[in-house]
Structure 1
Amino acid sequence: MVRDSGAGRTRYLSERKIAKEGRTSGTTPVPAAITRRDDGILLQWVRGGAVARLAARGLRLACPCAQCVDEMSGRPILDPTVVPDDVRPVHLALVGAYGLRINWSDGHATGIYTFDFLRRHPEAAAATP
């Protein structure tokens, strides 16, 4: 389930689009729930039930899109000084059964964060079951 909560409301975007564990390859991480908060996103994973809170600014700075990362070298090209300290996710949308698009308060909306990418994010790696 994707929970897009903000301004005192919770909106369910699509429960059916998130792949069930049996419909993905054995190594693809699958979230059981994704919740948008003003300070970032919460992910609860199907396997192990770990819950990770990914801070908004850290996630925005890790955007994997071509505007933020050099396509040839994989080197980050986003200047951290242009990302506001108070950047926040304003909208979440599933991308197929493999990722998440986040629209940010700074106007950026082109990054697709795969579930594998989100699972490997340093804050997610420290998640607690």
Structure 2
Amino acid sequence: MGDCAFCAIAAGETPAAMVLATDDLVAFLDVRPVFKGHVLLCPREHVGTLPDLPGRLRDPFLAAGQRLATAVVDGLGAQGSFVAMNNTVSQSVPHLHLHVVPRTKGDGLRGFFWPRTRYADGEAEEYAARLRAALA
């Protein structure tokens, strides 16, 4: 899909701090993370919402989500993770994506109010590298 930001990332046309790349999936850091290390997992092919996900991608998608949830703990020292996706409503990019957000007790995240932060120059790649190492 020509105007989809996540399709452009998956195709390598738009740079991103890549965490995981397979033939079918990509995972990269959110540019406006809830907490640093916040990863977005997407199918490479344009899929709008979870109900649209082809059956052949269900298991690989969930398996990658599990690996990323483990990686934020092992690679970033988080105590756990918040894993979520929106379908249409509140979906800022209309391409299926799973949020994997590192969590620690007392981090201030309450309900569905998601404060956003930014990475300092070069910091996104450092976080992405730590997550890649935890996935290896």
Would you say same fold, with TM above 0.5?
no
**TM-score, length of structure 1 as denominator length:** 0.28
Select the structure that is richer in helix.
Answer: 2
Which structure exhibits the higher relative contact order, with contacts defined as CA atoms closer than 8 Å and separated by 6 or more residues? 2
Structure having the higher strand fraction is: 1
